[in-house]
Structure 1
Amino acid sequence: MFNVHGVACAAALSLALFSGAAEAGELVKVKDITGREVEVSVPVERVILGEGRQIYFTAALDTDTPFKRIVGWRDDFQKADLDGYNAYLEKFPEMGKIPTFGGMKDGTFDIEQAVTLKPDVIIMNIDAKSATEESGYIEKLSKVGIPLVYVDFREKAMENTDPSMRLIGKLFGKEKRAEEFVEFHDTQIKRVTDVLAKAKDLKKPLVFMERAGGYSDDCCMSFGNENFGKMVELAGGTNMAGKIIPGTFGTVNPEQIIASNPDQVIVTGANWELYVPGGKWVGVGPGADKALATKKLAALMQRPAFTDIKAVKDGNVHAIWHQFYNNPYQFVAVQQIAKWLHPELFKDLDPEVTFKELHERFLPVAYRSGYFVSLNTGL
Structure 2
Amino acid sequence: MPAFYRPILLATLCLLPATSLLAKPVKFTDVSGREVTVDAPAKRVVLGFHFEEFTAIAGAKAWQNVVGISKTGWAGWRAGNWARYVEVIPQLKDMPDVGFTDDNSFSAEKVIALKPDVLILPEWGYKALGPAAQQLSAAGIPIVVVDYNAQTLERHLASTRVLGKVMGADQRAEELASLYQKKYQDVMVRIARAKATAKPKVYVELGRDGADTIGNTYRDTMWGQMLDNLGADNIANGRISANWGPLNPEAVLAANPDHVIIAGSSWQNRPKAVKLGYASDDATARATLLPYTKRAGWDTLKAVQQQHLYTLDHGLARTLVDYTAMQFIAKQLYPAQFADVNPVAELRQFHERYLPVKYSGSWMVTLKP
TM-score normalised per structure 1: 0.86
Q: Which residue of 1 aligns with 2:345?
A: 353
* Residue correspondence of structure 1 range 259-270 to structure 2 within 5 A: 259-270=254-265
* Residue correspondence of structure 1 range 24-173 to structure 2 within 5 A: 24-51=22-49, 54-76=50-72, 77-104=74-101, 107-132=104-129, 134-135=130-131, 137-173=132-168
Equivalent-residue separation in structure 2 for 1:376 and 1:291 (angstroms): 11
| 2:366 matches 1:374 | yes
Distance 1:128 1:196, change over 3 A: same
Distance 1:106 1:300, change over 3 A: closer
Give the alignment partner of residue 337 of structure 1, picking from 329, 341, 352: 329
Of stretches 168-177 and 204-213 in structure 1, the one that deviates more from structure 2 is 204-213
Distance 1:315 1:216, change over 3 A: closer
Q: Contact (CA 8 Å) 2:150, 2:220: kept in 1 or not?
A: no
| 2:202 matches 1:207 | yes
Q: Contact (CA 8 Å) 2:147, 2:155: kept in 1 or not?
A: yes
Give, in angstroms, the shift of residue 353 of structure 1. 1.6
Equivalent-residue separation in structure 1 for 2:149 and 2:290 (angstroms): 28
Distance 1:213 1:254, change over 3 A: farther
TM-score normalised per structure 2: 0.88
Of stretches 202-211 and 212-221 in structure 1, the one that deviates more from structure 2 is 212-221
Q: State the identity %.
A: 31
Equivalent-residue separation in structure 2 for 1:161 and 1:242 (angstroms): 23
Could you say which structure has the larger radius of gyration?
2
Distance 1:58 1:257, change over 3 A: same
Equivalent-residue separation in structure 1 for 2:160 and 2:326 (angstroms): 19
Q: Contact (CA 8 Å) 1:285, 1:372: kept in 2 or not?
A: no
Q: Which residue of 1 aligns with 2:12?
A: none
Q: Contact (CA 8 Å) 2:265, 2:275: kept in 1 or not?
A: yes
Q: Which residue of 2 aligns with 1:6?
A: none
Give the alignment partner of residue 306 of structure 1, picking from 287, 298, 306: 298
Higher share in helix? 2
Of stretches 180-189 and 80-89 in structure 1, the one that deviates more from structure 2 is 80-89
Q: Deviations over 1:253-283 (max 9, x none)?
A: 00001001001000001111x242x2x2101
Give, in angstroms, the shift of residue 187 of structure 1. 0.9
Equivalent-residue separation in structure 2 for 1:142 and 1:185 (angstroms): 33
3-state DSSP of counterpart to 1:68: helix
3-state DSSP of counterpart to 1:288: coil
Paired positions, count = 348
**Could you tell me which amino acid in structure 2 is paired with residue 270 of structure 1?**
S
After superposition, the CA RMSD in angstroms is 2.0
Distance 1:131 1:235, change over 3 A: closer
Of stretches 61-70 and 303-312 in structure 1, the one that deviates more from structure 2 is 61-70
| 2:182 matches 1:191 | no
3-state DSSP of counterpart to 1:28: strand
Give, in angstroms, the shift of residue 107 of structure 1. 5.0
Equivalent-residue separation in structure 1 for 2:215 and 2:278 (angstroms): 25
3-state DSSP of counterpart to 2:240: coil
Equivalent-residue separation in structure 1 for 2:324 and 2:67 (angstroms): 30
Q: Contact (CA 8 Å) 2:56, 2:354: kept in 1 or not?
A: yes
Q: Deviations over 1:43-75 (max 9, x none)?
A: 111110113xx2111111122424122110011
Q: Contact (CA 8 Å) 1:126, 1:155: kept in 2 or not?
A: no
Give, in angstroms, the shift of residue 376 of structure 1. 2.2
Of stretches 141-150 and 243-252 in structure 1, the one that deviates more from structure 2 is 243-252
Q: Deviations over 1:282-313 (max 9, x none)?
A: 01112413212201111122111523211011
Equivalent-residue separation in structure 1 for 2:144 and 2:154 (angstroms): 17
Give the gaps of 5 or more residues in structure 2: 1-20
Distance 1:108 1:181, change over 3 A: same
| 2:235 matches 1:240 | yes
Q: Contact (CA 8 Å) 1:267, 1:319: kept in 2 or not?
A: yes
